[in-house]
Structure 1
Amino acid sequence: MLIRFPDEIRIYVACGYTDMRKQIDGLAALVQANFQLDPFSKSLFLFCGRKRDRMKVLFWEGDGFLLLYKRLENGTYQWPKTQEDVREITPQQYRWLMEGLAIDQKKMIKTVENKRLL
């Protein structure tokens, strides 16, 4: 699911497992009641089922909700199982998640500030 969304969009992951029978109203209520976030904001809300092979994404488009559903045919998502209810992630972490990688990479190249050469 590598759909292009606006650059200013915020991305939230519902850590742990979500009942995948929930539809738009149930997921929006979960965002509002459990996470104290606004489901009508410019944000993506990602949810994953217990098997970790299905994902739902909730997004408000201004005139209605968009609900995306993806079921992997082979493999599972590396979904965060932490005790946090919801977690904001970066666009890079979103791409990692969609590519089957963990959002917390153990080793990655760090950016370097401008340094003067001798």
Structure 2
Amino acid sequence: MLKELSAANIYIVCGHTDMRKSIDGLAAIIREEFDLDLFSDSLFLFCGRRRDRLKALLWEGDGFIMLYKRLENGKFNWPRNEQEVRNLSHEQFVWLLQGLSVDQPKAIKTIEGGIDFY
């Protein structure tokens, strides 16, 4: 069963990934290139060179789930820095799936702490 994604960390693997890779190949990228914990409560996103397909890898506690999405019209606005993996907020994840950039310049950014009014 697909678990609730709202509790998961969402990581986007920037650049392009060979979309012929299976669960083991994608897991090797996460483990060897980025040294991240595959078995954490995390969703890992990968995109091909054409940017019209993405794969997602998720650990369910008893095995991996691989999700695949192919757009029929349009492309994902995917960051292209080959050496980077980024942690996305759920809002950025929704933007990405809607074809928008994960870096929305007009979005109000959250801040840590508060403002002193004294």
User: Which category of TM-score, normalised to the shorter sequence, fits these structures?
Assistant: 0.7 to 0.9
Q: Unmatched 5+ residue regions in structure 2?
A: none
Q: Unmatched 5+ residue regions in structure 1?
A: none
Q: TM-score when scaled to structure 2? A: 0.86
Q: Rate the CA distance shift 1:20–1:110 in 2: closer, same or farther, 3 A.
A: closer
Letter in 1 for 2:47: C
Contact 2:13 2:46 in 1 (8 A): yes
Instruction: Identify the residue that residue 17 of structure 1 maps to in structure 2.
Output: 16
Compute the displacement of 1:39 (Å). Answer: 1.1
Within-5 A mapping of 1:63-102: 63-102=62-101
Q: TM-score when scaled to structure 1? A: 0.86
How many residue pairs match? The answer is 114
Compute the displacement of 1:83 (Å). Answer: 4.6
Contact 2:57 2:65 in 1 (8 A): yes
Instruction: Identify the residue that residue 4 of structure 2 maps to in structure 1.
Output: 5
1:101 and 1:53 map into 2 onto residues whose CA distance is: 13
Contact 2:15 2:82 in 1 (8 A): yes
1:39 and 1:111 map into 2 onto residues whose CA distance is: 28
Compute the displacement of 1:20 (Å). Answer: 0.3
2:110 and 2:12 map into 1 onto residues whose CA distance is: 25
1:30 and 1:100 map into 2 onto residues whose CA distance is: 24
Compute the displacement of 1:81 (Å). Answer: 1.1
Does residue 43 of structure 2 align to residue 47 of structure 1? Answer: no
Per-residue deviation, residues 13-58 of structure 1 (Å, max 9, x unmatched)? 0000000000000001110000100111110000000000000000
SS of alignment partner, residue 91 of structure 2: helix
Q: Rate the CA distance shift 1:5–1:106 in 2: closer, same or farther, 3 A.
A: same
Letter in 2 for 1:63: D
Q: Percent identity?
A: 55
Instruction: Identify the residue that residue 106 of structure 1 maps to in structure 2.
Output: 105
